Amino acid sequence: MFTSTTVTTTTTITTTTATTVTTTTTITTTTATTVTTTTTITTTTATTVTTTTITTTTTTPCNSFPTQVTYSSGSLPHSVAAADVNGDSKLDIIVANYGSNNVGVLLNNGNGTFAAQVTYSTGSLPRFVAAADVNGDSKLDIIVTNVNSNNVGVLLNNGNGTFAAQVTYSTSVKPNSLAAADVNGDSKLDIIVANGASNNVGVLLNNGNGTFAAQVTYSAGTEPVSVAAADVNGDSKLDIIVTNVISNNVGVLLNNGTGTFAAQVTYSTGTGPYSMAAADVNGDSKPDIIVANYASNNVGVLLNNGNGMFAAQVTYSSGSLPYSVAAADVNGDSKLDIIVVNAGSNNIGVLLNNGNGTFAAQVTYATSSQP
C-alpha cells in the first residue's frame, strides 16, 4: 500500500515601470521677454503576479497490516497454501485440517473475502499441504502429507476448483512436510518429503501423467521436519534443503544432475529448527536459507557463499516459539523481508530487510491463539 502527496506552489513576480514626462512652456513678450517652463514627471509602477507550478510527489510505503479477519476451518489447522484453484485469477486458500483428517478449500469471493471451506478427505493427520500442477493440465492440484498414514495424498483438480478423491503414495514413517519441484529436468513436478521418524527425505518422481513412482530415500539428520527445493550452487538443478530438528542443523543435498542426490552437508542452526525458507535476501541471485529456531526464539539467516555452501547463521530475535517462516517483499522495496509465526506469542513478526541481507527488529501483529 502506498500514499502519494502532491504540493503545488505559485511564485512568479513581474514588475513593469512606466514613466510619463509632461513639459509646458510659456513665452510672454512685452518690453521684456519672460520664459516660463513647467516640467511634470510622472512615474507609474505596476506589479503583476503570474504562476509557476512546482509539483513534488512523495511516495511512502505502508509497512503495516490491518487487523486479521478469521474464517472457520476444520480442527487443528496445521498448514495453509494460497493458490488460484478455480482459474479466476484470484488466490484461494487451502488448509490442512490436522484434527479433522481433511483439507479445506476456501474460494476467494473476488474482493479479498473468502467463502466457507469445502472439505475433501485425506489420510490420518494431514500435516502439510501444497498446490502444484502435477498432471500438466494447467490446473493446480493438492498434495498433502498424511503423518499417521505414512503416505502423501494427491487430489487432482477437476478443472473448476473442486477436487477428486486423493490417490496415495507410500512414504517412510511420519511424513512431516513436502515440496513439489522438478528435480530430474523433465518439466514434471516431483514430490520431496521429509520423513520425520525415519530420518530421511524421500523423492517421488512424476511418471508424467500425475502419478508417481515409489520414493527413493536419502539420509537426513534426526527428525527432519521442513524441506525445500532450490538451486543453491548455480548448476540449474534443484537441490534439497532440510531442517533436522533434533540435530539442530540444516542439511543440503546437492542434485547429481539426474534427480538423484549426494549425501547431505550440514550447517548449524539454533535449537529446534522447525521451519525453513530458501530465498535470496542479499540480492546476489543466490538462494540463502532462513530458519525458524523454535526453542531459541529467533530466526537464523545463512547466506549462500556463491558455490552452494553457506556461511554461519546470523540470528534475529523473534517472539516465543517461532513455528513457521516465509520470505516476501512486504514494503515494495524489491528486497525480501522475513515473516515469522510466533506460536507462543500469538502473533506474527515482520523483519524488514535493511537492503543488504541484514534485518531490522521484528514488528509484531496479533493473531488468534497458537497461530
pLDDT of amino acid 325: 98
Residue 369 within a domain? no
State yes or no: pLDDT of 7 exceeds 80: no
Closest CA to 352 of 368, 371, 336, 369: 336
| Residue/partner pairs of 296-305 with CB below 8 Å, 24 or more apart | 296/270, 296/271, 296/272, 297/321, 297/322, 298/270, 298/322, 299/325, 299/338, 299/340, 299/351, 300/269, 300/270, 300/273, 301/338, 301/357, 301/359, 302/250, 302/267, 302/269, 303/357, 304/232, 304/280
Q: Residue 285 carries which DSSP code?
A: S
Q: How far apart are CA 232 and CA 119, in angstroms?
A: 37
Residue 74 lies in a domain: yes
Instruction: Answer for the pair 200, 224: CB distance below 8 angstroms, yes or no.
Output: yes
Strands lying side by side in the sheet with 175-181:
175-181, 190-195, 200-204, 216-219
CATH classification of the domain holding 77: 2.40.10
Average of per-residue pLDDT values in the chain: 88
Q: Are residues 48 and 15 in the same domain?
A: yes
Query: 79 and 126, same structural domain?
Result: yes
Q: What is the pLDDT of residue 229?
A: 99
Does the structure show a pLDDT above 80 at 231? yes
Domain boundary among 158, 178, 198: 158
Residue 56 has pLDDT above 80, yes or no: no
Residue at 106 is within a domain = yes
CB under 8 A, 24+ apart: contacts of 106-109: 106/71, 107/161
Q: What is the pLDDT of residue 23?
A: 41
Report pLDDT for 64. 72
Q: Mean pLDDT, to the nearest integer, of 122-129?
A: 98
pLDDT of residue 21: 42
Question: Does 23 map to a domain?
Answer: yes
**pLDDT given for residue 67 in this prediction:** 87
Higher pLDDT residue, 3 or 355? Answer: 355
As for how many domains the chain has, the answer is 2
Residue-level pLDDT at 27: 38
Q: What is the pTM of this model?
A: 0.83
273 found inside a domain: no
Same domain, 48 and 118: no
Identify whether residues 75 and 138 lie together within a single domain.
Answer: yes
Clarify whether residues 114 and 152 are in a common domain: yes
- Mind listing the pLDDT tens digit for each residue in 300-312? 999 999 998 999 9
Model pLDDT, residue 63: 60
**229 inside domain:** no
- Per-residue pLDDT band at 66 (split at 50, 70, 90): confident
* The last residue of a domain, from among 31, 58, 85: 58
Q: Which domain holds residue 104?
A: 70-158
SS3 content of the chain, % helix, strand, coil (to 5): 0, 55, 45
Domain boundary among 94, 129, 158: 158
Structure confidence at residue 255 (pLDDT): 98
* 46/174: higher pLDDT: 174
Same domain for 51 and 95, yes or no, is: no
What value does the mean pLDDT take over residues 157-185? 98
Q: Are residues 138 and 90 located together in one domain of the fold? A: yes
Is the domain of 123 the same as that of 85?
yes
pLDDT grade for 81, boundaries at 50, 70 and 90? very high
Q: Is 10 exposed, middle or buried (0-12, 13-18, 19+ CB in 10 A)?
A: exposed
In a domain, 169, yes or no: no
Lowest mean pLDDT, pick from 25-34, 64-73, 139-148, 326-335: 25-34
Which pLDDT does position 161 carry in this prediction?
92
